[in-house]
Amino acid sequence: VPRFWLDVLLESPVAEFLNEDDVRVMEYLTDMVFVEAENPTISFHFAPNPYFSNAVITKSFRFVEDGLESQEFHRSEERRVG
């Protein structure tokens, strides 16, 4: 279903944090994988797009005393272009 994940995000509480640039990028989102663990992660899988060459970008979190703390994004190896 085209734009499936974008539509899911736009209908969720996350929508208030998305700007126009985010929406353009999320049009290429093909899957989101959440891994529950001591330090949970969300992996965003993207179709080829004009914004970046990584197929997967992963966001990590860690539990702290006050809740969850966001960690840096991790990118998969870049796709070869051309």
Tens-digit pLDDT profile for residues 63-80: 777 766 665 655 665 554
pLDDT tens by residue, 7-54 = 999 999 989 988 999 999 999 999 999 988 777 888 999 999 999 888
The letter for the amino acid at 16 is E
Sign of CA dihedral 23, 9, 37, 33: negative
Letter string b/e over residues 38-57, b meaning 16 or more CB atoms within 10 A of that residue's CB: eeeeebbbbeeeeeeebbeb
| pTM tops 0.85, yes or no | no
Q: How far apart, in whole angstroms, are the C-alpha atoms of residue 24 and residue 20?
A: 6
